[in-house]
Amino acid sequence: MKKILLISFFIFSLSVWAKTKTLVIIGDSLTEGYGVARESAFPAVLQEKIKNQWKVINSGISGATTASAKGRVNWVLKSKPDLVMLILGANDGLRGLKVSESKKHLEEAIQILKQNKIKTILGGLYMPPNYGKDYSSQFKSMYADLSKKHNLPLVPFILDQVAGDPKYNLADGIHPNEEGHKIIANKVYESIKEYL
């Protein structure tokens, strides 16, 4: 009887494991969780919300720009993800890089994911107005344009309700604190739950 129960449990465990899908979030320090514990970064908080249905992989690298997108997507494809979320561009904007170049890099990554039939979600970012109205507007439009052109779901502004609020950011005023990451995780979950 114990042997039958053990075999049944093993088969059940295998079936649960087989149904688990993988979501990889490719980003920069906002994704990595700069300044907070790894388990407090929004991908880990998102994992708690999703529970056992999905495995969320935090592929955030501090300082990353969109120039890394293509190479990182090619690397991520080796793990055969079911869903990829791209949240890159903040460091491009902070460095004042050309929006056309950032857009080109993101589009290259998106095209690779499409060719490999990987469902992709785009996470948008905004630049503060002190970068100039034209630059901020172009930067914001970049994500909407790519979303429309490639028919991708878009989370318009990942830092909505977090950016600029001292309650939800570290002392540097740029990176979210633990409470900020909770808000981001909730926003991302509400935006992508229909694709999970």
Question: DSSP 3-state assignment of 20?
Answer: coil
Is 29 one of the annotated active-site residues of the chain?
Answer: yes
Look at residue 18 in the predicted model and tell me its pLDDT: 52
Average of per-residue pLDDT across 190-194: 93
User: Which residue among 28, 29, 40, 68 is the active-site one?
Assistant: 29
Helices (H), the chain: 2-19, 29-32, 42-50, 69-76, 90-94, 99-115, 133-149, 178-192
Tokens 């460095």 correspond to: 95
**How far apart are the C-alpha atoms of 34 and 174, rounded to whole Å?**
10
149: confidence class by pLDDT, cuts 50, 70, 90: very high
* Statement: residue 108 has pLDDT above 50: yes
131: confidence class by pLDDT, cuts 50, 70, 90: confident
Average of per-residue pLDDT across 85-105: 97
In this predicted structure, which of 11-15, 75-79, 102-106, 180-184 has the lowest mean pLDDT? 11-15
User: Which residue among 59, 68, 175, 181 is the active-site one?
Assistant: 175
Tens-digit pLDDT profile for residues 6-17: 343 433 443 344
- For domain 21-195, which CATH number applies: 3.40.50.300, 3.90.1150.10, 3.40.50.1110, 3.30.830.10? 3.40.50.1110
Average of per-residue pLDDT across 103-110: 98
**How far apart are the C-alpha atoms of 105 and 98, rounded to whole Å?**
11
Residue 190: left (phi > 0), alpha (psi -120 to 50), or beta? alpha
Q: Which two tokens stand for residue 6?
A: 């053990």
**How far apart are the C-alpha atoms of 3 and 96, rounded to whole Å?**
64
Tens-digit pLDDT profile for residues 16-58: 445 789 999 999 999 999 999 999 999 999 999 998 789 999 9
Look at residue 64 in the predicted model and tell me its pLDDT: 98
* Statement: residue 4 has pLDDT above 60: no
pTM: 0.89
DSSP symbols for 95-112 = TT--HHHHHHHHHHHHHH
Look at residue 1 in the predicted model and tell me its pLDDT: 52
Look at residue 9 in the predicted model and tell me its pLDDT: 42
**How far apart are the C-alpha atoms of 188 and 99, rounded to whole Å?**
24
Is 79 one of the annotated active-site residues of the chain?
Answer: no
Is 172 one of the annotated active-site residues of the chain?
Answer: yes
Chain mean pLDDT for the chain:
91
**How far apart are the C-alpha atoms of 158 and 127, rounded to whole Å?**
12
